Structure 1
Amino acid sequence: MKSSISGFYKHTVEERQSIIKKLADLTDAEQNILKNFGYFNPDELDAYTENVIGSFQLPFSLATNFLINENEYLIPMVTEEPSIVAAASNAARFARKYGGFRCEPVKSIMIGQIQIVKIEEEQIIEISQFINFEKKKLLDLANSCDEKLISLGGGARDIIVRQIKTIKGPMVILHVLIDVLDAMGANAVNTMVEALANYLEDKIPGMIMLKIISNLSIHRMAKCSAIFDTEMLGGPEIVSNIMNAYAFAQADPFRATTHNKGIMNGISALALATGNDTRALEAGAHAFASYNSKTGSYSSLSKYWVDHQGRLCGELELPMPIATIGNIIQNHPMTRIAFKILQVSKAEELAQIAVAVGLAQNIAALRALASEGIQKGHMKLHNKKLGNKS
């Protein structure tokens, strides 16, 4: 098979299927699977991305028992892993006795970065003074790029000047803080920073290079906490074991990576179901695990402690650039169903739900590790779903 296919993108979906059938020696049955577009038609799929040859479907499930800020939620999840949905539902049940999950308000501020290179140390002050003096004019320019966002109450709010040292010498990085409201914000942010960069190019020293959103959205943080019932967890000994597991993740980046991956199991499943960018969420979460670490290296995103009554308390905080508006979100038939089930329209509320799901997923994994081990329950459910009784 050769991978160099001239003009592959110019063909229709059906023509691409025929080409791939020959190149990959697909059977008629396999080609018929490619022709099953589910709830789409070929033209709709072709409008979403490049070189489409079919539709890939995953299970759409619901996690139950979630009580978040005194509101009841069924959580749509798209994942191939049965234990993720079961674990989240179970952990949400453990939290209900003490009021479920309590989530703090979430701002919708994203960061756009403008990179300035080829500067001398003494020029950094000049750039900073110019930005601060011209800030209102610069913010007005940025906001002129998106009248709809401004009319809804969003827009550029501030510009922060940062200095960093690199292998290519000193650089100035401008952080443009933009309230994107219920959107993820990449398009609005990128448009604004590009406009600002064009304006600044001949007005400040150095050379402007990158103009792009940052996925480490430290001004768009979601935070929640919960108290988990000791007896439901398995008793005081299990709570003690969970604290040992948490101490491991807090101190060791090798363990913390898997610990945090478990948190994202639930958040990414919800993000897929609601048409959100799982890569941006995961990148921001893992970066924050290093950025916010008190140990000086990558560490646990969640925190646990035992209160004076011997109850296990948990807290999770991470960047949450999750949206309730966007092309896929508004046009994908399954995401529309997901939002009807959630009964959510605001990004802030969805962010609160997502961080609660992440904490539930985390405590469920720690409980399994601290008791029977992760494989026993995982493989039992896996084999049950596959009909394997061995």
Structure 2
Amino acid sequence: MMTDDSNPTLPSLRTLPLPKRRDEVARLAGLAREEIERALATGGLDCDTADAMVENALGTLALPFGVAPGVRVNGVDYLVPMAIEEPSVVAAASHASKRVRSAGGFKATVDPSMMVAQIEVHDVADPAGALLRIEEAQTELVRRANEAVQGLVARGGGAKRVSTRDLGDGMIVTHVHVDCRDAMGANLLNTVAEALGARVAELAGGTLGLRILSNYCDERITRVTASLPVDALGDSRTKGIDAARGIARASLFAERDPYRAVTHNKGIMNGVDAVVLATGNDWRAVEAGAHAHASRSGAYRPLATWRLSDDERSLEGQIEIPLALGVVGGALRAHPGARLALALLRVTSAAELAAVAAATGLATNLAALRALSTEGIQRGHMALHHRATAAKLPR
């Protein structure tokens, strides 16, 4: 989040040398310059911390840590931290967000932080009876679950309900639906699944199998929209209406062809993953859940779509994506770079972080589709790629 007194005309960070860029970001974020220096001095993570975080650590592998300024979501401007190695992604997010910001910014809604803990039971002789007994024991199971995560319950979260499914061949699965509040929730969900496993197997009359969370959080969906007048998409080389029509056609292409949809979604995840990684969240879980959601109809589909209005005066975009993110727990406590990222964002909840991440993904999608449908993707991308590598490669 940017400070309330920040200039509505955002600075062109790319024209500043790196030290001046840090000064400007510190000013915009209301941080001391030393906080940025301290967090990023060793790539955001020192070797001793890395050794405590993973097994057999040898050191750290740094990624560029950039920022996209002025991403406006629900009327609030954010300095969005992005950790990514690919050239042009931060620039794309910044440029597209500037276009959307001039038209009022992104609008986001976020579902409650509901996640699923799964308990699988096999060798069930009477699946229909097992499902009935488990459903009748719902009150007991919810109580047992909440006894296992009392800290979460104290924060207003916890298990809310139980559901069951027959998977065939004597295998059933029980879902415990848990409100994880501002945590991503993996450890909480696994704790719940293990606490209830034996009792669920007893009720089912079968053999206890896996007890683990699901990373497909289809009850934790983030939706973001953007509306731009077509003139906002033009430049000296391309008329706005031509760019808008090209973007809408590119969207339709992704909706009809899974080969294109995969690359379309990759462009979305460029933005989403960069925010998720910068903030110390689990980008592999986010990727898996996003692609599962893209396939929920039985065919692989784009997560974001763009349409021209009937009068061709505006371009309307929307994204729907499951996002299980946290602003407490996990790597956030240990990773100085992740803590800096959250300090730059100044978000107050996991839902707010999800809204910003999804908006950034919609921004990188818009930038990619505009480039593809006008000058071609290589013009800007390869210029930045050559700048990034020409002077850095070993001789």
Instruction: Work out whether the TM-score is over 0.5.
Output: yes
User: Contact 1:329/1:335 (CA < 8 Å) preserved in 2?
Assistant: yes
Matching residue of 2:77: 72
What is the rounded CA distance, in whole Å, between the counterparts of 1:38 and 1:287 in structure 2?
32
Matching residue of 1:336: 339
| 1:64 to partner: Cα distance | 1.8
Given the alignment of the two structures, is residue 352 of structure 1 paired with residue 361 of structure 2, yes or no?
no
Report the residue type matching 1:188 in the other structure: L
Given the alignment of the two structures, is residue 116 of structure 1 paired with residue 121 of structure 2, yes or no?
yes
Report the residue type matching 2:333 in the other structure: Q
User: Contact 2:82/2:278 (CA < 8 Å) preserved in 1?
Assistant: yes
Matching residue of 2:171: 171
Matching residue of 2:306: 304
Report the residue type matching 1:299 in the other structure: R
Given the alignment of the two structures, is residue 288 of structure 1 paired with residue 288 of structure 2, yes or no?
no
Given the alignment of the two structures, is residue 181 of structure 1 paired with residue 206 of structure 2, yes or no?
no
Structure number with larger C-alpha Rg: 1
**2:218 partner SS:** coil
What is the rounded CA distance, in whole Å, between the counterparts of 2:261 and 2:97 in structure 1?
22
What is the rounded CA distance, in whole Å, between the counterparts of 2:47 and 2:316 in structure 1?
49
CA offsets 1:345-372 (integer angstroms, 9 cap, x no match): 3101001111101111111111111011
| 1:240 to partner: Cα distance | 1.4
Matching residue of 1:217: 217
**2:295 partner SS:** helix
User: Contact 1:182/1:348 (CA < 8 Å) preserved in 2?
Assistant: yes
What is the rounded CA distance, in whole Å, between the counterparts of 1:39 and 1:262 in structure 2?
25
Matching residue of 1:5: none
Equivalent of 2:278, from 273, 276, 280?
A: 273
Given the alignment of the two structures, is residue 323 of structure 1 paired with residue 326 of structure 2, yes or no?
yes
Report the residue type matching 1:179 in the other structure: D
| 1:206 to partner: Cα distance | 2.2
* Structure 1 consecutive aligned stretches of length 4 or more whose deviation exceeds 6 Å: none
Report the residue type matching 1:374 in the other structure: I
| 1:68 to partner: Cα distance | 0.5
Given the alignment of the two structures, is residue 313 of structure 1 paired with residue 291 of structure 2, yes or no?
no
Report the residue type matching 2:80 in the other structure: I
User: Contact 1:272/1:278 (CA < 8 Å) preserved in 2?
Assistant: yes
Q: How many residues align?
A: 345
User: Contact 1:106/1:351 (CA < 8 Å) preserved in 2?
Assistant: no
CA offsets 1:173-222 (integer angstroms, 9 cap, x no match): 11110001111101110110111112223332222211111111001000
Matching residue of 1:9: none
User: Contact 2:121/2:206 (CA < 8 Å) preserved in 1?
Assistant: yes
Uncovered stretches (5+) of structure 1, i.e. residues with no partner = 1-35
Given the alignment of the two structures, is residue 89 of structure 1 paired with residue 89 of structure 2, yes or no?
no
Please, what TM-score do these two structures have when normalized by structure 2? 0.84
What is the rounded CA distance, in whole Å, between the counterparts of 1:105 and 1:46 in structure 2?
36
User: Contact 1:95/1:229 (CA < 8 Å) preserved in 2?
Assistant: no
What is the rounded CA distance, in whole Å, between the counterparts of 1:170 and 1:265 in structure 2?
41
**1:82 partner SS:** coil
Indicate the RMSD between aligned Cα atoms, in angstroms.
1.6
| 1:54 to partner: Cα distance | 1.1
What is the rounded CA distance, in whole Å, between the counterparts of 1:304 and 1:82 in structure 2?
24
**1:100 partner SS:** coil
**1:66 partner SS:** strand
User: Contact 2:248/2:306 (CA < 8 Å) preserved in 1?
Assistant: yes
| 1:223 to partner: Cα distance | 0.4
Equivalent of 1:244, from 249, 256, 259?
A: 249
Report the residue type matching 1:198 in the other structure: A
Matching residue of 2:132: 129
Uncovered stretches (5+) of structure 2, i.e. residues with no partner = 1-40, 235-239
What is the rounded CA distance, in whole Å, between the counterparts of 1:290 and 1:271 in structure 2?
22
| 1:171 to partner: Cα distance | 2.4
What is the rounded CA distance, in whole Å, between the counterparts of 1:39 and 1:172 in structure 2?
44
Cα 1:127–1:263, aligned 2, differ >3 Å: closer, same or farther?
A: same
User: Contact 1:114/1:173 (CA < 8 Å) preserved in 2?
Assistant: yes
Given the alignment of the two structures, is residue 384 of structure 1 paired with residue 383 of structure 2, yes or no?
no
Report the residue type matching 2:72 in the other structure: L
User: Contact 1:324/1:347 (CA < 8 Å) preserved in 2?
Assistant: yes
What is the rounded CA distance, in whole Å, between the counterparts of 1:39 and 1:200 in structure 2?
43
What is the rounded CA distance, in whole Å, between the counterparts of 2:385 and 2:139 in structure 1?
58
What is the rounded CA distance, in whole Å, between the counterparts of 1:41 and 1:313 in structure 2?
44
Q: Which moved more, 1:350-359 or 1:206-215?
A: 206-215
CA offsets 1:297-349 (integer angstroms, 9 cap, x no match): 11111122111342110000010001101131122111111111101131010
What is the rounded CA distance, in whole Å, between the counterparts of 1:375 and 1:39 in structure 2?
31
Cα 1:299–1:38, aligned 2, differ >3 Å: closer, same or farther?
A: closer
Please, what TM-score do these two structures have when normalized by structure 1? 0.85
